[in-house]
Amino acid sequence: MKSKLLNFLLIITSLFGYLEWGTDSHSFLFMVEAEIFSKLFSDPLSVLHPFTVVPFAGQVILLITLLQNPPNKVLTYIGMGCLALLLVLVFAIGVLSLNYKIFFSAVPFLVVAVVAVRHYRSKPDTLR
């Protein structure tokens, strides 16, 4: 049960990353993802970019693990890694630009990811 909760929290916390660009533009990742999802059907080539496809694939993989009993450790690591590519970059941008909103938006995901890694490392390997 704890594994599923952690995987669910990884998905939820990944949606609250905050981005700012230009002088007047800003958005949370869930808003950007909704826009990307709506454009996926009208103009799929405009949304094909590694920083959109890889994190979305990570969320899908983590959703799949929520349907498994117990969640697959390898799939969880893959999904977490896909999401971490974007959120570690967001965290680094927040640190380098000294923008506390961007910085703190990535912290919940990173904390849950560390807790999830510690949880999965303490679980016995079921593939033996």
pLDDT at 128: 40
> Which contacts (CB < 8 Å, 24+ apart) does range 36-44 have?
none
Per residue in 3-43, pLDDT (tens digit) is: 999 999 999 999 998 888 877 888 888 888 888 888 878 88
- Domain residue ranges in the chain: 2-122
Rounded Cα gap, residues 19 and 43, in angstroms: 23
Can you give the pLDDT at residue 125? 66
pLDDT at 78 over 80: yes
Closest CA to 56 of 116, 14, 7: 14
DSSP secondary-structure letter at 19? E
Q: 17 or 50, which is more confident?
A: 17
Cα–Cα dist 1/5, whole Å: 6
User: What is the per-residue pLDDT for 35?
Assistant: 83
105-128 pLDDT per residue, tens: 999 999 999 999 999 998 776 554
pTM of the full structure: 0.84
* pLDDT at 36 (0 to 100): 81
